[in-house]
Amino acid sequence: MTLRPAVSERDHSAGRDDAPLTLVEYGDYQCPHCAVADPVVRAVQRALGDDLRFVFRNFPLTEMHPAAEPAAEFAESAATQGKFWEVHDAIFAWSRESGPESLDLEAFEAIAVQLKLDPRRIDEDVTGHRHLEHIKNDFNSGVRSGVNGTPTFFINGQRHDGPPTVAALTQALKAALAG
C-alpha cells in the first residue's frame, strides 16, 4: 500500500524536510494503541536523529472513539498557536495516565492552561469546527492509502505492516535507508 497523497507542507512534521527517511503515522487521539505507540515514535526519533522526519495525520475513528475528533480539532487549533507537537504529546500522555475515556473538554482545558494556549481561541476553534476540513482531508487520505485502523505507519510512502515497536520500526527504517 502506498501513501496518498505524499507528504507536503500541509502536514505536521517534525524533523528535516530533506531527511532521507519519512515516517508517517495515521493516528486517533483516543485510541489506546496510539497512546502506547507515541513514546515508541519518540524513541525512534531519538535513535535516528536527523535521518528521520516524522509526520502525524489524523484518523479519528469516531464511532469507537467519540472524543477523537474533538481532540484532533484541539491539536489543530494548537497548531495555529505554534504548539501542535506540545498538544499532540500532552493528549497522548493524558490518555496513558488517565485513560483514553478521560479525554473531554475539561482535559483539553487543563492541557491548554498547562501549555499557556489561548483558551478562548481553542474553545472557538473546537466548538466552531474550524479545522474539521483538515482532519477530514487527513482521514480521506488514510482511506485512499488503505488505512483501516490505528496506528498505521508508512515508511517512505510504503505501508509498514510490522508491529509498532521501537525495534521493528527502527529496523524497517534502517532497511529503507540502506536500500
Confidence at residue 33, expressed as pLDDT on a 0 to 100 scale:
97
Q: Is 1 part of a structural domain of the chain?
A: no
Q: Is 2 part of a structural domain of the chain?
A: no
Using 50 as the pLDDT threshold, list the residues of the chain that sit under it.
none
Identify the domain containing residue 115 by its residue range. Answer: 12-178
Distance CA 108, CA 143 (A): 27
| Per-residue pLDDT tens digits for 90-110 | 999 999 999 999 999 889 999
Q: Is 4 part of a structural domain of the chain?
A: no
Q: Do the strands 152-155 and 52-58 form a parallel or antiparallel pair, or are they unpaired?
A: unpaired
| Per-residue pLDDT tens digits for 40-57 | 999 999 999 999 999 999
| Domain count across the chain | 1
Residues 118/124, Cβ–Cβ less than 8 Å: no
Secondary structure (3-state) at 145: coil
Q: Is 154 part of a structural domain of the chain?
A: yes
Confidence at residue 179, expressed as pLDDT on a 0 to 100 scale:
85
Domain of residue 38, CATH code: 3.40.30.10
Listing from the earlier edge strand, what are the strands of the sheet with 52-58? Answer: 12-14, 52-58, 21-27, 152-155, 158-160
Q: Is 6 part of a structural domain of the chain?
A: no
Q: Is 87 part of a structural domain of the chain?
A: yes
